[in-house]
Amino acid sequence: MNRRPSSSGGARRVRCRCGRTVLRQLVGNRAALDVTADADQLTPAEAAALREPNRLDWCLRTTKAGLDLRWADCHRREAECTRPHVIDHQCTAPPAAAMPQGRRPRTTSVPEGQLTLG
Ligand SMILES: [Zn+2]
């Protein structure tokens, strides 16, 4: 395995199955976490309000390579962070494995992941 995940890659903007634009990045040096976060930029206070035990927020830095997600350890400091924060994406697309048996969805001509945006 590669010991040093490339830190120059930064966050990638990708389209989630549910249609939202999200940021994906491996965050952390040793135990890198595969983060999928909403692309919406929040203030640190807004992001902190949305935090849950399994939903973290991330400090969003803009580097010359692009966007870079960092652990939001800035919450622990006294001076509040001035950078935008993003919050873990909570997908609204139904997990494929959780489809009830015997009730198959009607086949449509629209492939999954290309649902029309309201
Ligand atoms: Zn999603």
State in Å: Cα 107 to ligand 1 middle. 21
Q: Give per-residue pLDDT as tens, 60-78.
A: 999 998 999 998 887 666 6
Q: What is the pTM of this model?
A: 0.68
Helix or strand run (H / E) with residue 47: helix 44-50
Whole-number Å distance between alpha carbons of 40 and 16: 14
State in Å: Cα 79 to ligand 1 middle. 33
Every domain of the chain and the residues it spans: 12-92
Lowest-confidence pick of 23-27, 42-46, 97-101? 97-101
Q: How many Cβ atoms from other residues are within 10 Å of residue 113's Cβ?
A: 11
DSSP state of 23: E
